[in-house]
Amino acid sequence: MKKIVGITCGRTFKDGSPHREYQNTAYCVAVAAAGALAVLLPVSDPAAANDYLDRIDGLLLPGGIDVNPHHYGRARHPQLGETDEGQDLFEIAIAREAWRRRMPILAICRGIQLLNVALGGTLIQDLPSDCPSELVHRQTAERPVSTHEVIVDCESRLFRLTGQTMSVNSFHHQAVDTPGSELRVAARSADGVIEALESDVHPRVIAVQCHPEETAIHDAKSQALFRQFVAWL
């Protein structure tokens, strides 16, 4: 029987239209290609986190909108994007409980940021303002196109999957600042931005700033991230 990966949802609030829970198809396709089944977890009461986790084998925290900085004790930056307090609260709750259970976690883009905040870390709210760089972290190229490389720590578990470098796509203006409790840096871009986190106390975690679900259709290293995640289930 195939294992089940729960993928948290974003949601839209449009005047005159039904509110909608959603997630990009690429996550489901990449999970299926790695051998598991994907189910979507709607934004819910944080108290329901345990009930959802009881029914899945692994948690995927996907990309999406910004995390509200009050969750890590910072004032709102002028360039802060859209936030959703209900989504933040549910995802923080389910991330913390999955971590407590040592459930396999794959965290992507917003996901790495959310997991970091859930474990007490902080974020850079706007890279162009606070950490100017010639490296473009919010690319205009198509989503499956890799536009820069990241340098992987040779002592990390990520290194065993990707080697010393990995070509990645990049769609973010925020990034991890101070890693949270029990997290450590596994990769950085050439300008020093944190591109991956992992943990010595929870070895079944992959957290990356890029979007490997978009590149897994053609990139062996992106595929390896999903295969390893599913192998842990």
* Active-site residue, 213 included: yes
- Of the residues 109, 137, 202, 214, only one is catalytic, namely 109
Query: Which residues have a Cβ under 8 Å from the Cβ of 115 and sit 6 or more positions away?
Result: 61, 95, 99, 105, 107, 180, 183, 197, 205, 207
Query: 123, exposed or middle or buried, with CB in 10 Å at 0-12, 13-18, 19+?
Result: buried
13 pLDDT above the threshold of 90: no
Rounded distance, CA 102 to CA 63, Å? 21
6 pLDDT above the threshold of 90: yes
* Active-site residue, 131 included: no
* Active-site residue, 198 included: no
Radius of gyration of the chain from Cα atoms? 16
For residue 215, give the amino acid letter. T
Rounded distance, CA 107 to CA 116, Å? 10
- Of the residues 137, 195, 211, 214, only one is catalytic, namely 211
Rounded distance, CA 120 to CA 35, Å? 33
The pair of structure tokens assigned to 108 is: 């992507």
Rounded distance, CA 191 to CA 146, Å? 17
Q: Report the pLDDT value the prediction gives residue 131, as an integer from 0 to 100.
A: 82
Rounded distance, CA 109 to CA 114, Å? 9
Say which range, 3-17, 32-46, 101-115, 170-184, has the weakest mean pLDDT: 3-17
Q: Report the pLDDT value the prediction gives residue 196, as an integer from 0 to 100.
A: 98
pLDDT tens, 127-168? Answer: 999 888 888 788 898 999 999 999 999 999 999 999 999 999
pLDDT tens, 185-204? Answer: 999 999 999 999 999 999 99
